[in-house]
Every structure is written in structure tokens, then in C-alpha cells.
Structure 1
Amino acid sequence: MTPLEIPTDLDATLVLVRHGESEAIVERRFQGRLETPLSATGRRQAALIARRLARPLDPPALPLPVGSPLAIVHSPLGRAAETAAAIRDAAAAPGAFATSIPLRSDERFLEIGQGDWEGVPADEITARHGELLARWRRTPTLAWAPGGERLAEVRERVAPGIADLLAELQAAGRPGSIQAPQVAGYRDGDLDQPWTVLVGHDGVFKVLLLTLFDLPLERFWMWTSDLCGITVLEIRAGRPVIRAMNLTEHLTGLLDDEAQAASDERARSGAL
């Protein structure tokens, strides 16, 4: 596939947010494109991440531009849409951005289709398709769920989605704000470039990051997005930089230690 072309004059930020815990995650069932609502814990996670993004300067400050995001884009699946709506509602509250942020779904950021495995308990998949599942974990470009999507197919839909997000950010940017490439972490003046929030899924975010950084799909498992984790991607003069990866401190204290450990284990299971 042709590498993603990032405009060399683009100076913007893209924030990735994984959805909150769903009922299927609690039940340890493969999700894929299965419609499953947020669990009670998932709704609390969504409220906490919404409050965090609405108050980015609360210590420790998030590395975000000043002002409200250009838009909140989300996967059409309910667990992502519900999380995105919580972020929008918190942003409009007094003491936050106090403005209405456009909210829209984009089917190109649907979770990876898991075909016949969707809705099936993980233990059953392991018992019936253990060898295939092991190959998916080991060589994800050479194995996939029966009737499911191949990673190359996922990238074919995700890449145009990323390109459109970047084009929208570029159109909203300040003309001529970048004269030459800058070193990540060093800024000139206030960083008031545009930014967008994308609420989606662990599997799709893995593919998105590989595409953005022009890395092979064989490295699919190198990235992790925990439930309601925050990843901040900064584009500086057309070069992507990870400013923050999978932040989850805003969820601290959500559960007691035993329940938190169980939730952490479920969060790490991504791409089910």
C-alpha cells in the first residue's frame, strides 16, 4: 500500500480515546463489530475521561493545544458512540470549553471484524480454534478469524479515514504557521493549532498508528490502548510524534484493588 501522505505544512494534534468497558468485555466474549453497550464501570470510565479532556490544564496537564477540539469523531458502534457523547457533553459544561463540539460517526473506524468469533466466549474460541488464535497472536497478517477481516483490509479503510481527518485539521489551521520542521517538545509561542478527538477501538488504533508511522502490519501487537486510555499524537511540520501514550491516570480510584486488577486484565485483552 502507498504510504500515507501527511501535508508538510500541517501542525495539529489528534487525540485517540478507546471506548469504556462494554458488557461483552465483562463477559469475556469476542467483540469485533458486535453491538454491546457500556457496562456500569464503562459508563463511569467514560464520565472520568470526559471530565479529564474537558479540563486538560488540571495537573498534570495534558499536552493539548489551547481551545476546544475541532470535532469528536467516533466509530459507529454503541460503546464508542456512548463514550464520545460523554466527552461532548462534558466539554459543553460550564468551567470546561462551554461550547458545543461537533460529534459524528465514521464507519471507517469500526473495530476489526472478527467474523464467526464475534459474541463467542474467549474460552470457547481457545478450545475450538486454539491453533488459529495462536497464529493470529503470533503472525497477525497471516491468520484471522473465520469470516473476519484481514489486517490489510482494515488498513485499506482506515488510511483514507486518517487522511480525511488530517485534511480537515489542515483546512482549520493557521496559514503559514510553520516555516520549517520543529523539534518535538520545543514550541514557539502558544500552541493554538487545531485538534480532533477520535473515539474508537484497540484493534483499529493499532492499525492507525502503524499506518501513520509507516510501519508494517506485522508489528500489529506493539501498541496497546487500554479502556478509556488517552493517546496524544502531535503532527509537527508534517511529522507525527507521540506526545502521550495510553494515559489512564484519570481512572485511578475508580474501583477497589481487586476489581481494578480484573478490569486491567480485561483492558489489556484488546482487539477481541
Structure 2
Amino acid sequence: MLNLFFVRHGETEWNVERRLQGRLDSKLTSKGIHDARLLAKRLATTEFEAVISSPSNRAVHTAKILTENRSLSIVTDERLMEIHLGHWQGKTIDEIQTIDSKKYDCYVNHPHQYKRDDGGEDFLDVKDRLEEFLASVEEKHDSGNVLIVTHGVVVKVLQLICKNLPLNRLWDPPEIDGTSLTIVQSSQGERKLIMEGDVAHKRVSVG
């Protein structure tokens, strides 16, 4: 049995500003770092065969916090990067709604109809590269645990793949919050979600 531990990166400065990042980047906030440390404690007794991260700095920083006390090296894979949002990247949601309201409505409410013509990606593009990534990991690891640090849209697409749902169900609950944990069990070509968007580590009382 292969267990894939998918983690969304910790909260970033642009997350707080409601600014879409896509392939651009911003630093983890103090909260994002704190939450990643809480998750590291939660996973302290779990042994991992490998750690794979999106190359984005916010994901790699999160992965480094999660593996601080381990001898594992972090491998990056571009197939785990966030959806490329074209000219939306770096803009706030309010700005995007002003300049591109119809397309943003598709993005949020009709994801199966969302398309870009500026070099960005749609959700099927993300699905294609994520399925390719999953197949490559399953070919390399037939058992054990693999830690994977990635982005919100990637985890939402992962849910669709595992549940065999259409794209119009992309934004179904649960929400994928910063440092949330989603676990996929893979065995003999079948994938099963056994945890989705879990943030129990962030509810730990302090002091």
C-alpha cells in the first residue's frame, strides 16, 4: 500500500492580501511558518520514503520545515506547480473582478468552462500533468509513505481524480487551507482519498 501525503503550502503574504499567485511567489507569513511547524509535529512519527515539492519557493519552504529533523532530501517536480493564471498573476481578486469579471466568474462558478488565451492553463491542463505525476510516483514507489507539498488548485484537482468527478465539481468542499493534509491510498491502480483538507494540527491549543 502506497500512501501519498499531499500538503498545501503554508499561508503566504499574497494569500493574506487576496492576491493570486499562480506561478509567481510570495513569502510564507509567520502564521504559515507556525502552521507548518505544527504539521511537522503531527507527522513526526510518520516515516517517509521520499519528499517531493513544487519548485515554488512557498512550497519548498514549507517542505523544508516539514523535514527539518529528517535526513531526507527534497526533490522538486514542476508538475506540482500551481495553475498558471496568465496575466491574473500578482493581481488581487478585486482587481481581477474589475478587469475580467466574466472569466473570473467562470473560474469560480463554472470551472469546466474556464479557458485562457494568454499562455496560462485551464483546469484540464492541471489534471493532465497531475495524472502524469501520480503515475510516475506509483511506478517508483509501490508501498510506504511519500510526502508531497503543492498548491490549492492542485489538491482540488487531485480530489476530482480520486473521486472520478467532472470539472464542474472542482470547488466542492472541503476547502484546501494552508498546510492542510490530504492523504491518498494507492494500491493496484486504485486510488482512495482517506483524508481531505484536514487541519486538525492547527487547532492544537497553545500554552
* TM-score, scaled relative to structure 1: 0.70
Q: CA RMSD in A?
A: 1.9
Q: Supply the distance in 2 between the matched residues of 1:209 and 1:167 (Cα, whole angstroms).
A: 20
Q: Between Structure 1 and Structure 2, whose CA radius of gyration is higher?
A: 1
Q: Does 1:169 align with 2:141?
A: yes
Q: Do the aligned residues in 2 keep the contact of 1:117 with 1:145 (CA within 8 Å)?
A: no
Q: Does 1:82 align with 2:61?
A: yes
Match of 1:270 in 2: none
Runs of 5+ unmatched residues, structure 2 = none
Deviation at 1:30, TM superposition (A): 1.0
Percent identical residues: 31
Paired residues, what number? Answer: 204
> What SS class does the counterpart of residue 21 from structure 1 fall into?
coil
Q: Do the aligned residues in 1 keep the contact of 2:138 with 2:186 (CA within 8 Å)?
A: no
Out of 168, 184, 188, the residue aligned to residue 233 of structure 1 is 184
Q: Do the aligned residues in 2 keep the contact of 1:50 with 1:87 (CA within 8 Å)?
A: yes
Match of 1:178 in 2: none
Deviation at 1:159, TM superposition (A): 1.3
Q: Does 1:123 align with 2:74?
A: no
For residues 60-209 of structure 1, the aligned pairs below 5 Å read 68-90=47-69, 92=70, 100-144=71-115, 147=118, 148-170=120-142, 173=143, 194-209=144-159
Q: Do the aligned residues in 2 keep the contact of 1:116 with 1:145 (CA within 8 Å)?
A: no
Q: Supply the distance in 2 between the matched residues of 1:30 and 1:167 (Cα, whole angstroms).
A: 33
- AA of the residue aligned to 2:140: E
Q: Do the aligned residues in 2 keep the contact of 1:77 with 1:110 (CA within 8 Å)?
A: yes
Runs of 5+ unmatched residues, structure 1 = 1-10, 57-67, 93-99, 174-193, 256-272
Q: Do the aligned residues in 2 keep the contact of 1:162 with 1:208 (CA within 8 Å)?
A: no
> Which is richer in strand?
2
Deviation at 1:237, TM superposition (A): 4.3
Deviation at 1:146, TM superposition (A): 5.4
Q: Supply the distance in 2 between the matched residues of 1:212 and 1:117 (Cα, whole angstroms).
A: 29
Moved more, 76-85 or 142-151: 142-151
- Listed one character per residue, the Cα deviations across residues 38-93 of structure 1 (whole Å, up to 9, x for unaligned) are 1111111111111211135xxxxxxxxxxx11111110001100000111114x2x
- AA of the residue aligned to 2:146: T
Q: Supply the distance in 1 between the matched residues of 2:161 and 2:195 (Cα, whole angstroms).
A: 18
Q: Do the aligned residues in 2 keep the contact of 1:24 with 1:30 (CA within 8 Å)?
A: yes
CA change 1:55–1:212 in 2 (3 A) is same
- AA of the residue aligned to 2:126: V
> What SS class does the counterpart of residue 157 from structure 1 fall into?
helix
Q: Do the aligned residues in 2 keep the contact of 1:70 with 1:102 (CA within 8 Å)?
A: no
Q: Do the aligned residues in 2 keep the contact of 1:111 with 1:200 (CA within 8 Å)?
A: yes
* TM-score, scaled relative to structure 2: 0.90
Q: Supply the distance in 1 between the matched residues of 2:5 and 2:130 (Cα, whole angstroms).
A: 16
Deviation at 1:242, TM superposition (A): 1.9
Q: Does 1:246 align with 2:197?
A: yes
CA change 1:131–1:243 in 2 (3 A) is same
Moved more, 33-42 or 228-237: 228-237
